[in-house]
Amino acid sequence: MAGSLDYSVHQYGTGNYLQRLGVWGVDFERKSKYWIIYIHGGAWRDPRVDFETFAPTIDRIISSQHPLASAIAAFASLDYRLGPHPLFPQDPASTPVSQYRNAKHPDHLNDIRSALSYLQKRYAFGSNYVLVGHSAGACLAFQLIGSPESADLVLPQAIVGFEGIYDFTGINSRYRGGYAEFLTGAFGDPSCWDSAAPMKLPGSLKEGWNEGKLAALGWSRDDPLIDEPEIDGMTAKLERDGVKLVLFKDLHGGHDELWENGADVARMILTTLDAIYAT
């Protein structure tokens, strides 16, 4: 289980307490094995959702009987700077700068790049990793490969995104403006949304993702916060861009229940490893 692994917490940046990550080591020395790296969700602002929320999925993978569980070198989970949350207000006059949550795009994405660069320099696993993202974390994973600023970063061989937010204007419209507050908090004025949304990124996501072998997308009908057009639209974008796809539209559980339980997330990751080895 996760508690039995070689666990350590690292600061990859010095400006904010959230520039940190957790590592659960299994077999650091075997460079042919894969790292599984997780980006949590939380609408770019929820301080209750952090890197430790990956632990239930790690437990599920470690306890599984899947043969490719032994192909994993380590797990990592990334925190990143967050924006302000109305339920957890902070007074800028009395809050230390390092504790203050006022991030806005591209701060979150820059932190993901910095965290991955830190891990690459310390552990040198190259492209032998799967990047997993939930909700806003799935958005960040696809923003990463679609960003020219990621050109100097070694990108993953696969991405697993589940309950992802990919089309900001679309989902906000379908939910009758209910997402405008946190999307504006994360990305600014609605006129800026499409330029940052993975589904609306210009060009091909495959073009700059030379290491990429496939993407996996997951969605649960039990999730009241993310509707089916999100996964369908991102599927269409990836197919147009020539990215090999694995789809999981059979997940079970609400938006946060998926990572709280971890079983379906573990299944997606292990199936993705299967697909990598099959290519």
Cβ distance 170 to 233 under 8 Å? yes
Evaluate if residue 196 carries a pLDDT over 90. Answer: yes
The residue among 29 and 170 whose pLDDT is bigger is 170
Q: Confidence class of residue 119 from pLDDT cuts 50, 70 and 90?
A: very high
Digit-coded pLDDT (tens) for 34-50: 999 999 999 999 999 99
In angstroms, the CA 105 to CA 43 distance is 12
The verdict on whether 66 is a catalytic residue reads no
Q: Give me the amino acid identity at 278.
A: A
Cβ neighbours around 96 below 10 Å, total: 9
Cβ neighbours around 192 below 10 Å, total: 15
Digit-coded pLDDT (tens) for 147-163: 999 999 999 999 999 99
The average confidence (pLDDT) of the chain is 97
The verdict on whether 255 is a catalytic residue reads yes
In angstroms, the CA 38 to CA 119 distance is 13
Evaluate if residue 179 carries a pLDDT over 80. Answer: yes
The confidence score (pLDDT) of residue 2 equals 82
**Strands 129-134 and 20-25, how do they pair?**
unpaired
Task: Average the pLDDT over 125-130 and give the result.
Answer: 97
The confidence score (pLDDT) of residue 29 equals 87
Q: Which of 40, 105, 108, 255 is catalytic?
A: 255
In angstroms, the CA 189 to CA 219 distance is 28
Share of the chain above pLDDT 70, in %: 100
CA angle 245, 250, 252 (to 5 degrees): 130
Q: Confidence class of residue 255 from pLDDT cuts 50, 70 and 90?
A: very high
The confidence score (pLDDT) of residue 229 equals 98
Digit-coded pLDDT (tens) for 1-29: 787 899 999 999 999 999 999 999 999 98
Q: Confidence class of residue 279 from pLDDT cuts 50, 70 and 90?
A: confident
Q: Considering the domain 2-278 in this protein, what is its CATH number?
A: 3.40.50.1820
The verdict on whether 135 is a catalytic residue reads yes
Q: Which of 135, 147, 150, 220 is catalytic?
A: 135
Helix ranges (DSSP H) in 72-223: 107-123, 136-145, 168-174, 180-187, 193-196
Sequence spans of domains, the chain: 2-278
Digit-coded pLDDT (tens) for 47-66: 999 999 999 999 999 999 89
Burial 81-92 (b: 16+ CB within 10 A, else e): bbbebeeeeeee
How far from 278 is each of 129, 213, 267, 273, CA to CA, in Å? 16, 10, 16, 9
In angstroms, the CA 195 to CA 239 distance is 20
| Residue 131: partners with Cβ closer than 8 Å, 6 or more residues away | 37, 39, 141, 144, 156, 158, 159, 160
Q: Which of 50, 79, 223, 264 is catalytic?
A: 223
Task: Average the pLDDT over 130-134 and give the result.
Answer: 99
